Amino acid sequence: MESKPSNARRMPFFFMMIAAVLVVLALVTVIQVLKMYRETGYIDVLALTLSASAIGFSVYVALQMRSKPLKLGFEQPKVSTVIRCSNCGFETTRDFREGDYVLKEAESCPKCKGSMFIYTIFRESEETKKKRG
């Protein structure tokens, strides 16, 4: 299997070029509008608005491309382990530790000294986190 070391991030050159061309065209239009205003006193509001929108859009696209991290799915999510007492039902939640598995015996219950076991292991999804704010 061929494998070359790959860059973690690649410049989206194509989109940056489009954004740059858009900015240049918008600036030319703005200059034209200003020139026409000086000569005739008529201001082309629509052309000015379109140019401002084009500049705004380009800046937005550029910022989006800069701030977007490349997520591949290998990120370790926050995983929790729920431990429950089989005697009194006392429950405690902690971070997942390597070697944890459901129904594994855990330390004794701090309340009744009964035997505890791993009841469940789960991750909180991104959607749930977002909903909680």
Partner 1 sequence: MISQTFFDVAQGVAPQDSMIGLIVQVLWLAFFVLYMFYGQRLQVKIMLKEIEGSLFRLKLMRDRGREIAISTIKKLSKEKNDPTERVDRVLEHVYIPPVSLDPSGIIRRLEHIIDVRDFRLKDEVKLMVPDVDETKINNLANMLEAALALNQIYKVVRHFYLVGKKTSSFYVILQLQMILPQIMKESQAFASALIAFTTGQPIGDGVGPLVAARLMHGNKEYEIAKDTIVSEVPIEGRIAYVLKAKGPGGNVGKPGEAIRQLLEEKEGRVNRIIVIDAAQKLEGEKSGEVAEGTGVAIGGPGVDKYKVEEVATKYKVPLNAILIKEGIEDVVSVMRKEIANSVDEVIKRIKRIILEMTKEGDHVIIAGIGNTIGIAQ
Binding residues (CB under 8 A) for partner 1: these are 1, 3, 6, 8, 10, 12, 14, 28-29, 32, 36, 44-47, 50-51, 70-77, 79, 86, 96, 98-104, 117, 120-125, 128
Q: How far is the CB of 99 from partner 1 (least distance, A)?
A: 7
Measured between alpha carbons, how far is 57 from 62 in angstroms, rounded to an integer? Answer: 9
3-state per-residue secondary structure call for 103-130: CCEECCCCCCCCCEEEEEEEECCHHHHH
Q: How far is the CB of 32 from partner 1 (least distance, A)?
A: 5
Q: How far is the CB of 62 from partner 1 (least distance, A)?
A: 17
